């Protein structure tokens, strides 16, 4: 059963806003609890809380050129929003939700680039999650970006696999199309007469005459009757 036409349009803004809100609230709580400390601050199962200000790209990778990275992040967020608005015409829930995760993660990290110190377009992204105290440090926006990318790729691959295969048409030698002579309509007056000449009289179509009656043979001694 096809989803309601407005389902994708409603799901996208709600999911994107939820990602942005959860990311910003978690970053604010991490800053309030662990600012000024060093090393892992808390343990959450296999995860550790490690507050890091990242001036590079996602997962704590890359440093330097914060303005360029901020411009790339914001451009990617705007391009994602435009692509989502164009792709929502398909009204598919999986695609809408995956693109909403990507857009929410892009906006969440882009807000840090704009609003965090040391200044606009030079702000550092707040990362605070790591696995077992080792490896890259990330945040909820990074998780949404990766999850949305994987979900969108899976939806597109499944859609491509479900398309019916259309076999190509068999090869046929190229031949010029035959042109039949154009029939002359009954009301065609014919070619126009030359100047100074009267048009030739048109002959009327002949109607078939009735067949003559057969002769009747008279008995011998009588004249034949017509």
Active site residues: 127, 142
The CA distances from residue 18 to 37, 94, 125, in Å, are 29, 16, 19
Q: How far apart, in whole angstroms, are the C-alpha atoms of residue 82 and residue 76? A: 10
The CA distances from residue 97 to 40, 93, 112, in Å, are 33, 6, 23
* Length of the chain, in residues: 226
Q: Which residue, 159, 18, 2, 24, is CA-closest to 100?
A: 18
Q: Give the per-residue SS3 of 164-190.
A: CCCCCCCCCCCCCCCCCCCCCCCCCCC
Q: Which residue, 96, 106, 97, is CA-closest to 145?
A: 106
Q: How far apart, in whole angstroms, are the C-alpha atoms of residue 72 and residue 78? A: 10
């Amino acid at each position: 059963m096809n989803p309601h036409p407005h389902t994708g349009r409603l799901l996208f803004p709600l999911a994107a806003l939820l990602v942005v809100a959860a990311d910003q609230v978690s970053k604010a709580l991490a800053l309030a609890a662990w600012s000024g400390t060093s090393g892992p601050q808390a343990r959450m199962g296999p995860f550790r809380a490690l507050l890091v200000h990242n001036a590079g790209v996602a997962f704590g990778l890359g440093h330097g050129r914060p303005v360029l990275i901020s411009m790339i992040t914001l451009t990617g967020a705007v391009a994602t929003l435009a692509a989502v608005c164009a792709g929502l015409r398909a009204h598919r829930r999986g695609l809408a939700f995956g693109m909403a995760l990507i857009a929410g993660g892009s906006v969440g990290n882009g807000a840090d680039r704009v609003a965090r110190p040391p200044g606009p377009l030079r702000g550092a992204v707040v990362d605070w999650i790591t696995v077992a105290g080792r490896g890259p440090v990330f945040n909820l926006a990074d998780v949404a970006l990766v999850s949305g990318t994987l979900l969108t790729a899976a939806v597109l691959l499944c859609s491509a696999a479900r398309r019916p295969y259309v076999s190509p048409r068999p090869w046929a030698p190229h031949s010029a199309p035959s042109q039949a002579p154009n029939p002359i309509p009954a009301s065609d007056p014919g070619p126009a007469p030359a100047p100074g000449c009267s048009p030739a009289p048109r002959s009327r179509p002949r109607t078939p005459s009735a067949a003559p009656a057969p002769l009747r043979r008279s008995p011998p001694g009588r004249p034949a009757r017509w």
